[in-house]
Amino acid sequence: MLPCVRWLQPLLALLSSVLLSSWGQNCPTNCQCPDPHTVDCSGRGLTRLPDSIPLDVRRLLLSDNWIPWIPSDFLVLYSDLVYLDLRNNSLSRIEPGTLSTSSRLVFLDLGSNNLTEIPSGTFGESRSLIKLRLGNNPYLSMVSEDAFMGLTSLRELELERNALSSLDVGVLGQLPSLRVVRLEGNPWVCNCNFAKLFGWLMENRQKLPTESLLCKAWGQGGGVGCDVRSEGAELMRCRDVHVTGISEEAEVTESPACGKALLV
């Protein structure tokens, strides 16, 4: 063995030991750090964000805890973060501007929380975000028309199994890169707003991973299933609409491809 190799091997072993030691010391208490840029604090019973998260973290896993909020400057501090999983916590709102135009975040999971609304400016025109999960928030009943403004790279949006009875079609129309949208499992109401949404879905049916959405007609206890991916699906034009909404006399008619559809 060459002399230079003899002294190089122990030097590399020493450097490796130092790096591994430093890596372990930077890991937050009660969390795991499987690699230098990943922090896994899932299922630790946390009631707030952990202390001493390394500033160069890229993947932060915080699912299955009791975290009620995240500060609006969180992603400013952790500017290298690309993957953030906050699924199944106690978040009731997201501070506007939490995501900024300078954010590198690509994946954000806020599913299975207690969110009630997604107001304008929530995501701060983050142009790097590709996948956004907002499903399974049982109190989420309102999404502002400009909630996703500026998310020009967003490809996947999940809004399934929330409390949405309507959704402004402009919410989806401003997402030029959108490829997949999940909307099933919401208590949709068959009114004029749903008709506009239905029209957009008909034109973009390839973006729906599920075959049908269920909406409830005015005054009906049961739901009406509409297969928005059917080539022949139709929803009639609006009529009998008042400022306060659909009148009680609004008709329900049979549609060959969509079961019953409210005349909207």
Question: In tens digits, what is the pLDDT along the chain, a chain of 264 residues?
Answer: 555 545 555 444 444 433 444 445 689 999 999 999 999 999 999 999 998 999 999 999 999 999 999 988 888 889 899 999 999 999 999 887 777 666 799 999 999 999 999 998 888 778 899 999 999 999 999 999 999 988 999 999 999 999 999 999 999 999 999 999 999 999 999 888 888 898 898 899 899 987 677 888 755 455 555 555 554 455 544 433 332 233 333 333 434 334 334 333
What does the alpha-carbon distance between residue 55 and residue 62 come to, in Å, rounded to a whole number?
16
C-beta of residue 252 within 8 angstroms of C-beta of residue 263: yes
- Is 26-186 a domain of CATH 3.40.50.2300? no
What does the alpha-carbon distance between residue 170 and residue 199 come to, in Å, rounded to a whole number?
12
Which segments within 153-204 are labelled E, that is strand?
156-158, 180-182, 188-189
Other C-beta atoms lying within 10 Å of the C-beta of residue 87 = 21
Tokens at 35, concatenated: 């690699």
| Pick from 173, 205, 182, 197: nearest CA to 262 | 197
- Domain boundaries defined on the chain: 26-186, 207-264
Which segments within the chain are labelled E, that is strand?
32-35, 38-40, 59-61, 83-85, 107-109, 117-118, 131-133, 142-143, 156-158, 180-182, 188-189, 213-216, 224-226, 241-242, 245-246, 252-255, 259-262
pTM of the predicted model as reported, rounded to 2 decimal places: 0.79
